[in-house]
Chain A
Amino acid sequence: MSRSLKQVAVLLVALLCLDPHGRVGSAPICTHGPSGCHVPSLADLFDRVIQHSARMHSLSNDLHSEFEQYFLPSKNHIGKIYRKCHTSNILTPNGKENAQKLAREELTEVILKLLMAWRDPLFQLHQSMAHQQDFNSFSSNKALEMGDMAHELRKGVEKVAEKMRVLGMLGNSVTGLSAAEAMLPISDSGEAMSDYELLYCFRRDSNKVQNYLKILKCRIVPEHDC
């Protein structure tokens, strides 16, 4: 009984949210009182996670270029090294159109998978950087920060997904993302990757996440010029 009521309420909320002026749609959810409480809208949440991912990406970029400066003779060599990132198994759309074609659930799942897959490697990266004298503490702190950011971003995206699900914009298929499943890619990558390779991959993946999030946002909250 209560479940159906809940669904009705959710529907109502969803309708409100779909209202063109609908950022206020989240107001009814607030139980602490109509006035004082402001629950961020989905668009706001998206903006936040996107900003977060952008920061993460630029951080990884900074670190990556530091690495390049110290350890690689010239940038020309980067492309030559054929890299296989441990996240290569995760099927990701590799273009704008592909990403747009992907279902919302799948896109969300991809994002979450990527973020999950980076939890441990980032920790390892920080560990190994902290033990190398070549890096100053600044660099290794960056690595640590990156790990934290990835973690937070994952939490944030999960929250967004949860909310989308609550709003009925997302099917339940994403919920099937278990920790074990997310860990799979890591176990796949057998050989240890060098720090530089890790960074290279993470830089790329963080860029992916950022762009996927943007596309997802455009599809979920279409009133924002998409």
Chain B
Amino acid sequence: MQFLIMTFLSPQDLCRLGGTSTYWRSMVRDPVLWKYFLFRDMPLWRSVDHLSVPQVKLTGSAVLDDSEMQFDYMAEYLRVCPACRNQWRHQPRAFESVTSFFQSFVPVSEPQFAMFGPGLEQLEVSLMNTIMYSPHILPIAGIPQRQIDGIGSGISFKYKDQHRFNIATLYSTNRTERERARLEHLNLRSKLFVYEEDSESNIPLSINPMFNQVCQAVNGFIFVANAETERERQQTDVGYIARPLPISFSSAYCPTLGWEMAEAMAYSLSLSLLYLGLLCGNGLVSARGSELFTPDPSRGPHFTGCRSREQETFRCWWSTGTFQNLTEPGALRVFYQTKNALEWQECPDYTRTVENECYFNKTFTHIWTSYCIQLRSVPQNITYDDTCFTVENIVHPDPPIGLNWTLLNVSRSGLHFDVLVRWAPPPSADVQMGWMSLVYQVQYRVKNASHWEMLDLESGTQQSLYGLHTDKEYEVRVRCKMLAFDNFGEFSDSIFVHVAQIPSKESTFPTTLVLIFGVIGVVILLVLLIFSQQQRLMVIFLPPIPAPKIKGIDPELLKNGKLDQLNSLLSSQDMYKPDFYHEDPWVEFIQLDLDDPAEKNESSDTQHLLGLSRSGSSHVLNFKSDDDSGRASCYDPELPNPEDLASLLPAHSGRGENHPLVSSSSPSIPDLGIQQTSEVEETPIQTQPAVHSWVNMDFYAQVSDFTPAGGVVLSPGQLNSSPEKKKEEENEKKIQLQLLSDGAYTSENTARQLDVPPSPGPEQGYHAFPTQAVEGNLWNGEYLVSAGDSQTPYLLPEAPPAPTLPPVSDYTVVQEVDAQHSLLLNPPSSQPALCPHTPNKHLPAMPTMPMGYLTPDLLGNLNP
């Protein structure tokens, strides 16, 4: 009853129960109970490692016999049970962490595990696929390139992004056969093992040598059982693993990850698998190493090989194996059979000098023919071994001879060198005729190193080795095989290649030095260049935006207020304070006009006055026109001009009717007119002063000139004097003059329209004007020149021609006006001039000179 109850308890609880009293302690230790637990729980445990493999036979019987009574099932259970294991495993944690810390300094090669078993092969979706594509498992670092022939490859996993571990998969055979076997439920002969050749049984004899190599490389094995298959099938699985393993893994037992759904295992693969593999690994490999290489002692007499050196003859060798009674010659015989001769024949020639060798000379050697040979004991009529081959497939050429090397070159650093290795084909092989075509494989290694570097196959008899280190000695050897066949012959004798390290410091030092200095120099040069040519570089890289250039009279300059500069620098008329100018002169001018007629009426000299006034007005006009010209295209001034003209003309004609016109044109005029009339009497001199600008000064000066002119017609002296004055200002004014002339054109046009009716010869005036203008320009130019000194002579010659007139010209505008006026009124005046027109247009003046010229014609026209 107690037992029954205890079976429902967990082992842990039982242990606690056992701790309560001695009675329970003895009760709890009952082997029957623990054996029950063991058998009940074991299939449920996820893993069993080699330390915890139960040492009991899984007999399955719950009844204990005497021997088993002695067995401590409790201890066994506790040792095996994973939960219990974990308990004691974690005990040494204190120092474990320290050791693992130290171990982390030791570079560990990637752990490798080999996975095999039916679980790998019998699943619909292969376990490897599940492992590779399941997200719950470790990321795959890669698939190794090396593939084991026909058996499989493997996967590299990454653990915690740092450590890699590799799992190689060992399949029993290739995929297509596996598929077929899975579908047809066949039992496969695993390629991992070598089976007894003729028997159909699946009992492996030994382990495949290829697998053998794998076993040496791996740290552990993982046996994958197939949990999908039914229970009895598991028994065969057990057999599968139990049979081969005791042979090779006697001392250690491989962990079985069985009895568990493959997928479930895959999920839990990550760490537990690693643990298991590591745990089982070491003991396993050590066990294997010793066992797998010992030759199978149980093997009887057998052939050890057949070889041909030159594809013309061949030899076969055999071993008596364990059968020591057959060692004496003649006890074993070799028989062979070819396609041509179907009956078995005995070996044509047993070599006397060599034990257990049969030699087939040229007559008995047929290439491309299947040979089958048997090893027989004739008296006992037992065939111990047989094998078949064709001669071309057993050709192992003799090693090449005459290996030597020549130094190709040494690197500049003196650290590396290249050599050319030469050899001669084996003398036995008929290479020249081509009966054998050989390819050679050169191998080299640092002397005493374990790893041979292998070069590609070479069909010639020389090959270069590149990049050898000067301080190391190399061992080089060559072997050969037939082209398109597999069997290599023996290696040739090694040669040693060594090139003493050349003291190359002298050579390397200067070059590096030169390099360094060169670089530094270039850098310095660059810096200098940049600093010195900064501007240019700036220009090159950042070209300046071209500043806008405005030609002619620039309002900009005006804005700047540098009028003086403007005047002097530019040869074109400038504007002088145009603002106030506009209005004032107008008014005055008009007033003058008004006055003039009045004066006319009043006095006989009115004309004179008129002239004066006109001259004044003309001056004003001139100024206005100047303004215009200064403003270039501006034509405000033009309008006044015509008006002026109108006013002037009437005045000139002496009609009072015109006054209203004028007044009407400028309403403001009348008011001012009164004031100015008084002024008018005082005359121009006063009126002029009203104007503030220096132009006024001119005017003033002109007026002064004028007055005499008006009075005396023309007084050279005064004229002369006036020119002088003028000249002073004229430097500045000449520009004005030009402008005036320009203005004259414009005014001309207007004048035409307005003047036509009143003035009889406006046209002539017009005609005259252009010339005048030209002349004026010339004159101006001369003037300028005179001012500039350089062209004074020019002026001089012109001056002389018209002694009387020149002064007028000198007077420029004013004089002209005067002259005109005077002309009109007083013929004596030398310059009939253009009459009213001219003044209107631009009286100003300069035209004086031209006037002088023209005067005759105009006079003629006007006077009548």
Residues of A within 8 A of B (CB): 50, 54, 57-58, 61, 65, 69-71, 73-74, 76, 79-80, 82-84, 88, 92, 94-97, 134, 204-205, 207-208, 210-211, 214-215, 217-218, 225-226
Contacts and interface: CB of A to CB of B under 8 A. Distances in A.
Contacts of B173: 73
**Most A Cβ at <10 Å: residue of B173, B311, B483, B484:** B484
Contact of B430 (A73, A96, A207): A96
Interface string B413-437: 0000000000000000010111101
Given A69-B174, A88-B339, A207-B368, 13 more contacts: A50-B434, A58-B483, A61-B485, A69-B150, A73-B191, A79-B372, A94-B366, A94-B367, A204-B390, A211-B367, A215-B433, A215-B434, A226-B433
Contacts of B150: 69, 73
A88 B369 CA distance: 10
A54 B149 CA distance: 26
Contacts of A74: 191
A57 to B, nearest CB: 5
Contacts of A71: 176
B383 interface: no
A211 B435 contact: yes
**Most A Cβ at <10 Å: residue of B173, B339, B367, B388:** B367
Interface string B175-208: 0100000000000010100000100000000000
Q: Which 5 A-B pairs have the closest CB atoms?
A: A79-B388, A214-B434, A94-B366, A58-B484, A61-B484
B312 interface: yes
A200 to B, nearest CB: 10
Contact of B392 (A82, A92, A204): A204
5 contacts: A76-B387, A79-B370, A79-B390, A96-B312, A207-B368
B389 interface: yes
Nearest to B431: A225
A70 B178 CA distance: 12
A180 to B, nearest CB: 26
Contact of A57 (B367, B369, B484): B484
Given A69-B149, A70-B174, A94-B366, A54 B483 contact: yes
Contacts of A134: 176
Could you tell me the dominant secondary structure of chain B's interface residues?
A: loop
Given A95-B362, A96-B311, A204-B392, A83 B433 contact: no
Given A79-B372, A80-B388, A97 B362 contact: yes
Contacts, number: 82
Interface in B90-139: none
B256 interface: no
A226 B430 CA distance: 10
A79 B392 contact: no
B387 A79 contact: yes
B369 A94 contact: yes
B822 interface: no
B625 interface: no
Contacts of A54: 437, 483-484
B321 to A, nearest CB: 18
A65 B486 CA distance: 10
A84 B369 CA distance: 10
B365 interface: yes
Nearest to B366: A94
A92 B484 contact: no
A73 B189 contact: yes
Interface in B405-462: 430, 432-435, 437
Contacts of B432: 225-226
Nearest to B364: A95
Interface in B316-374: 339, 362, 365-370, 372
A50 B435 CA distance: 12
B370 A95 contact: no
A57 B392 CA distance: 13
Contacts of A84: 339
B826 to A, nearest CB: 116
Interface residues of B, number: 34
Contacts of A207: 368, 392, 484
**Most B Cβ at <10 Å: residue of A70, A79, A83:** A79
B772 to A, nearest CB: 95
A95 B430 CA distance: 13
B617 to A, nearest CB: 108
Contacts of B372: 79
Given A58-B484, A96-B312, A211 B370 contact: no
Contacts of A95: 312, 362, 365-367
Nearest to B486: A65
Contacts of A82: 339, 370, 388
B453 to A, nearest CB: 25
B151 to A, nearest CB: 11
Nearest to A208: B368
A209 to B, nearest CB: 11
Nearest to B365: A95
A74 B484 CA distance: 19
A74 B197 CA distance: 11
Contacts of B197: 76
A5 to B, nearest CB: 37
Contact of A83 (B366, B367, B370, B430): B370
A218 B485 CA distance: 23
A91 B837 CA distance: 138
Nearest to A98: B366
A208 to B, nearest CB: 6
A217 B366 CA distance: 21
Contacts of A211: 367, 434-435
A96 B436 CA distance: 10
Nearest to A214: B434
Nearest to A204: B368
A58 B484 CA distance: 5
Contacts of B389: 79
Nearest to A226: B433
Contacts of B189: 73
Contacts of B176: 70-71, 134
Contacts of A226: 432-433
A159 B633 CA distance: 103
Contacts of A76: 197, 387
B339 to A, nearest CB: 8
B790 to A, nearest CB: 87
A84 B368 CA distance: 12
A215 B435 CA distance: 7
Contacts of B367: 94-96, 208, 211
A208 B311 CA distance: 12
A97 B313 CA distance: 11
Contacts of A79: 370, 372, 387-390
B612 to A, nearest CB: 114
A71 B483 CA distance: 24
B692 to A, nearest CB: 106
A73 B176 CA distance: 12
Contact of A96 (B387, B390, B435, B483): B435
Interface string B188-232: 010100000100000000000000000000000000000000000
A95 B435 CA distance: 10
Nearest to A84: B339
Contacts of B430: 96
Interface in B509-531: none
A71 B176 CA distance: 9
B486 to A, nearest CB: 8
A80 B430 CA distance: 29
Nearest to B369: A94
B309 to A, nearest CB: 13
Contacts of B312: 95-97
B458 to A, nearest CB: 15
Contacts of B339: 82, 84, 88
**Most B Cβ at <10 Å: residue of A76, A95, A214:** A95
A94 B433 contact: no
Contacts of B485: 61
